[in-house]
Amino acid sequence: MAVNSFMVELGTPAPGFALADVVSGETVALEDFAGAPALLVAFLSNHCPYVRHIESVFGEVAARYAAQGLAVVGISANETGNYPDDAPEHLAGQVKRAGFGFPYLHDADQRVALAYRAACTPDLFLYDAQRRLAYRGQFDDARPRNDVPVTGATLSAAIDLVLAGQPVPEPQYPSVGCSIKWLPGNDPS
């Protein structure tokens, strides 16, 4: 069943994090991106058909904007007991398959997902240079089985504005995807 993102209030500061990258094993923290003019925090998953539908184009969009200074970090917060495809070793396979050139972190205790108020995968949070939330919402209008091409146009337009120091106007449309698979007692809804 598809779930919408919570649409966190614009201007909200980026919560801190320090999580292990699934490829290198190194800890990556919010502070590591301090010099970037914008930061995209993307809650992703390996097994979700909504993420799989966009993942290659998402990797391309992230790479294109990295050349312009955008920092990107992916985070998977799904519990892995019932969803083993989202275990770190399988996420590392997704990095290769999708062409992700950004750190992909595993949030095993789900504290980071809860702090960001992430609800689904994909769930996208774009922060400005002061790490205030400038955009939250969909990648584009494509969904599995809706025959709309995956382009990343909605997110790309938001990134262009943030990198230019401009606000991203409303309306912003929620991301739609698989619910985060919460550990018992963590489900914020």
In this predicted model, what pLDDT tens digit does every residue of 100-115 receive, in sequence order?
A: 999 999 999 999 999 9
What is the rounded average pLDDT of the residues 129-156? 96
* Helix (H), strand (E), coil (C) string for 110-137: CHHHHHHCCCEECEEEEECCCCEEEEEE
CA–CA distance, 94 with 51 (Å, rounded to integer): 11
**Residue 102 belongs to what domain range?**
2-179
Residue 189 covered by a domain = no
166: number of Cβ within 10 Å: 12
C-alpha 28/C-alpha 75 separation (Å) is: 11
CB-based contact 41:116 (threshold 8 Å): yes
Tell me what pLDDT residue 189 has. Answer: 74
CA distance 106 to 98: 17
187 domain residue, yes or no: no
- Is residue 127 situated within a structural domain? yes
- Is 185 within a domain? no
The answer, yes or no, to whether residue 3 has pLDDT greater than 90, is no
Q: How far apart are CA 122 and CA 4, in angstroms?
A: 10
Residue at 22 is within a domain = yes
When divided into structural domains, the chain yields a total of: 1
Closest CA to 155 of 146, 144, 143, 168: 168
Give 187's pLDDT tier (boundaries 50, 70, 90). Answer: confident
Question: In Å, what is the CA distance from 107 to each residue of 62, 95, 111?
Answer: 21, 16, 7
In a domain, 135, yes or no: yes
Establish if 186 belongs to a structural domain.
no
Q: What percentage of the chain has pLDDT greater than the value 90?
A: 95
What pLDDT, on the 0 to 100 scale, is given for residue 1? Answer: 67
Q: Rounded to whole angstroms, how far apart are CA atoms 167 and 163?
A: 10
Q: Is 42 a member of any domain?
A: yes
Minimal CA–CA distance to 115: which of 168, 62, 77? Answer: 77
CATH at 45: 3.40.30.10
Q: How far apart are CA 114 and CA 182, in angstroms?
A: 10
- Kindly report, residue by residue over 13-69, the tens digit of the pLDDT: 999 999 999 999 999 999 999 999 999 999 999 999 999 999 999 999 999 999 999
